[in-house]
Structure 1
């Protein structure tokens, strides 16, 4: 009998656990199957001007006769035309003012650029082959794309002379500056013999 009593208690406990599990599962299933509320917010914008205009026109039709409505329509059209004309004149004036300011700024900028003289300084350290001639040719090409007649090019020259054709090429590069009408100055610190002297004579 004692065994049966213990066995019965065990069955009741097991049944209680099973029922509890079933209830939990059923609760979860019920919550999951419940439709979710849409919490996404939204903003609705309605243009009420047109509705107000419609109401106003309806009231006017009931309050005024045809002649008065006609006069009111003419006055309204005249007012809108005057307003559009005023806005057009205002826009034109603003455009003209902006154009004048832009032109004034451009003129001021141009005057400032003209007033400021720029000096481009190039170095030529010549060996017997005048190896620096190629680099100087590229530098002079770059300078001529930017230099104005108001500017000046200064060449700092050091050379003991060398091959005639090489220094002839170097001298011809300096001549390009003269041909553009840009002032050229050659400065010699220590020596400019032979081909170096020929280059200095270009200035």
Structure 2
């Protein structure tokens, strides 16, 4: 017991010291970063090199020295012939979108697309590896609008889905001229949902009133604290139905082959069933598709990385340090109990 008291005292002093240091560092970072705008950088890597490294490493492990010499000689000859022919390979620009509820990845996607459009031609291709279960309507509306820029520029767009593209995620996917999904990827959920708690009765039981003043009949329909009315519910449902209709029309515009009323029920389908519903065009993983394209095209992976400010870096480092400290403390405390 005495050990626990001493340990708790030591822990409290340590936490106090760490917090004090963090406050000082964050304050300094805030003062230094005041008035500055954080910027990002476009990172580009050639995926052909990545695939070649995998292939070469396997060759070195499997083939004998004599076999390697023969292979290298053939590769060198083929490279010379290709260079002599002077044929320009098409380019494939690979982008990634890992969507959260706010579609935060849109901030990077918009810059990546701007970069691609500055030099891509109709002979090239954009491949988007998309993973998203959907989220806020306006956020995914903006993300979808970024992809529309590619279609309007006349550049082929292929969307690859390995795990999930549902709701707002499918809203993005449907813009692709070709949609490729893994056999058990989740697709669909073409619907709209909204929910919120209402604490009015609880507050009423404790004699707590909430005053909600509005100018405009439908400035507020359903609320968390106020008393909801049937008229408000009807208006709220009407807004949902309007949004759903816009969603359906958007999908139908880019996937006219769909029986939109049949698939726009909010249901989801796995890739195999989604192919039958024509929600996708082919069943393959993104790895398979890109490895195949690498044989006759130059593949470039683009990622726009936001440059974090000093304040953000200090905050992130502090968060990681506190997490590690908490885990270490819990681990020690747990071990002490078992002793």
Common fold: TM-score over 0.5: no
Higher relative contact order, chain-length normalized (CA < 8 Å, sep 6+):
2
TM-score of the aligned structures, taking structure 1 as reference length: 0.44
Q: Which has the larger radius of gyration?
A: 1
TM-score of the aligned structures, taking structure 2 as reference length: 0.27
